[in-house]
Homo-oligomer: A and B are copies of this chain.
Amino acid sequence: MPTRDAAALRREAARAYDAYLASCPARQLVDRISDKWVTLILPALADGPQRYSDLSRRIAGVSQKMLTQTLRSLERDGLVTRHVTPSVPVRVDYELTPLGLSLMPLIACIKDWAETHMDQVAAARQDYDSASSTTGAKV
C-alpha cells in the first residue's frame, strides 16, 4: 500500500522540518515579533519604564491575560525586566533591556518597508479582487 507509506513519510518529514524550524533563529524571532501584542508592548515601553496599569491603559483592547502572558514571555526572553516594589498596593514596573532596545531599529526597518510599499500591496489587492470578480468568482 504505497499510499500509506507516502503519507507516513510526509508526516515524518513534516515533523523533522518542524524540529529544524524550531532551531532556526530567524524563525524564532519572527515567531516572537509576530505576536500581536509584542509589537504593541515593545514600542509602548520604548519611552521608558511603564507600570502594568499604564500599559494596560495605553494599549487599549488588551486583556489582562494577554498583557500578563506577553510580558512574561518577553521577560523570559530577556527583552524586558520586571521590577516589583513591595508597597501597598504593590507596584510593578516593566522596562526594556538593552537587548529589547536593540530590537527597536529592526522594528523601525519593518515599519519603513511597510510605509514605503504597503500602498503597492493595497493596490495589488484591489486589482486582484476586481479581476476575480470580473471573471465570475464569487464576491
Contact = CB atoms under 8 A, between A and B. Distances in A.
A75 interface: yes
A6 interface: no
A89 interface: no
Contacts of A15: 61
Contact of A60 (B13, B76, B115): B13
A17 B129 CA distance: 26
A26 interface: yes
Interface of A: 10, 13-18, 25-34, 39, 59-61, 75-79, 99, 102-103, 106-107, 109-111, 113-115, 117-121, 123-125, 127-129
Given A25-B115, A26-B111, A29-B118, 4 more contacts: A30-B34, A76-B125, A99-B124, A103-B113
